[in-house]
Amino acid sequence: MERKVIKMGDSSLVVSLPKAWVDKAGIVRGGSVEVEELSTGEIVIKPKTEVSERREVEISPGEKSLGSCIIDHYVNGTDVIRIYSKDTLGPEVMSTIYDTVPELSGFEVTEASRNRVGIEYLGGVMPFKKLFSRFTLIINNYLRSLELAFEKDSGADVETIRKMKETDRLYYSLLRNLIMAAESVKIASEMELRSKDSVYYTLLVKNIFEMTKKVEKIDFFTTEHNQELAGFFNSALSCHKKSMEAWNKKNRELALEGMDEIKETLKEVKSLSRNIGEPQEKEHGKHGPESRAVKLKGMVVASEPVMLSNILSDLQDILYFINRNLKIATINSVS
């Protein structure tokens, strides 16, 4: 690659750096590079190595919601958390610590004594796009399992998929990486992200996480509307896949196609929801929706109309979250 030498001042000569390399190396105006002269007479220019300071914090076991406090520090990039008390750390505190740490990828308890526990981040920069791909696959599996459950009139697929308890762990890990990428051009480069991508990815990740929480609430039961529900979950799965493909390929047309499909599905879901809630005349002359007790795991939990209305409500929320991601994909297509 040939570069033109430019004179600057009375004695200095300047060579511009290739834009593609500058972007990849995360070099910005006012930043620094390392210049090394080799014995061969050649000069090597390298990005200046960032000396990152380890983030450490000490917290009290008496802080409100210790588990949430540990998670917040993890997500915000803390490397070392020390939990200290003048008194002995009780069994409830220790249980909270050892229940929370396994949910946080890269975090390990490295010190434990009578009144002190040290938690340290031992991982490096995660393979972000692989984690994100795995995260999106989970919601795919969730939606597919619900589609099959109502289509086959069997909840076996739902119970199987719920045993994969990794949603929270992946979510916290993705957020930690995205926050660090937003703060460091170098880390963003290592994750193969542009700085502005971290903002959009954060919105995508949060929407998908909220979807998984809605899906996890849905309990399977047999209803005369099973096939309609199966169709709704099939449409949700189709639109979610379109949102991710549109995002990855910057395909605005595909995102708009998904938004149209969401619009039509929402109409059908709302129509069924209204019909469930409307009084219907029965043979004996009384009015009101057919009410039949539903059993889940041997316990009577609610009437069928109530259970069905809850599912349709959660389904609408899932479709709204997918629609948000489709909108983000349309923005990404022109950025």
At 176 the pLDDT is 93
* Contacts with 228 (C-beta within 8 Å, 6 or more apart), sequence order: 268, 272
**Is residue 282 over pLDDT 80?**
no
Claim to verify: residue 145 and residue 170 sit in the same structural domain: yes
| C-alpha count within 13 angstroms, C-beta hemisphere, residue 224 | 7
Structure tokens at 215: 């899906």
Claim to verify: residue 114 and residue 147 sit in the same structural domain: no
- What are the pLDDT digits (tens) for 79-127? 999 999 998 999 999 999 999 999 999 999 999 999 999 999 988 767 8
Claim to verify: residue 89 and residue 149 sit in the same structural domain: no
Claim to verify: residue 144 and residue 254 sit in the same structural domain: yes
Residue 30 is given by DSSP the state T
- What are the pLDDT digits (tens) for 298-307? 444 456 778 8
Rounded to an integer, what distance in angstroms lies between the CA atom of residue 8 and that of residue 87?
66
Neighbours of 163 (CB within 10 A): 6
CB burial of residue 279 (10 Å; 0-12, 13-18, 19+):
exposed
Of 321, 320, 325, 315, nearest in space to 217 by CA? 315
At 44 the pLDDT is 77
Please, what is the average pLDDT of the chain? Answer: 83
Claim to verify: residue 323 and residue 217 sit in the same structural domain: yes
Claim to verify: residue 80 and residue 18 sit in the same structural domain: no
The 3-state secondary structure of 52-71 reads CCCCEEEECCCCCCHHHHHH
Claim to verify: residue 68 and residue 141 sit in the same structural domain: no
| Residue that finishes a domain, picked among 95, 121, 147 | 121
**Is residue 7 over pLDDT 90?**
no
At 54 the pLDDT is 81
**Is residue 287 over pLDDT 70?**
no
CATH number, position 288? 1.20.58
Claim to verify: residue 159 and residue 305 sit in the same structural domain: yes
- DSSP characters over 181-232: HHH-HHHHHHTT--TTHHHHHHHHHHHHHHHHHHHHHPPP---TTHHHHHHH
- What are the pLDDT digits (tens) for 229-260? 999 999 999 999 999 999 999 999 999 999 99
Claim to verify: residue 155 and residue 73 sit in the same structural domain: no
Residue 43 is part of which domain span? 5-47
- What are the pLDDT digits (tens) for 35-83? 877 667 778 787 765 545 788 999 988 766 899 999 999 999 999 999 9
Number of domains in the chain: 3
Claim to verify: residue 176 and residue 33 sit in the same structural domain: no
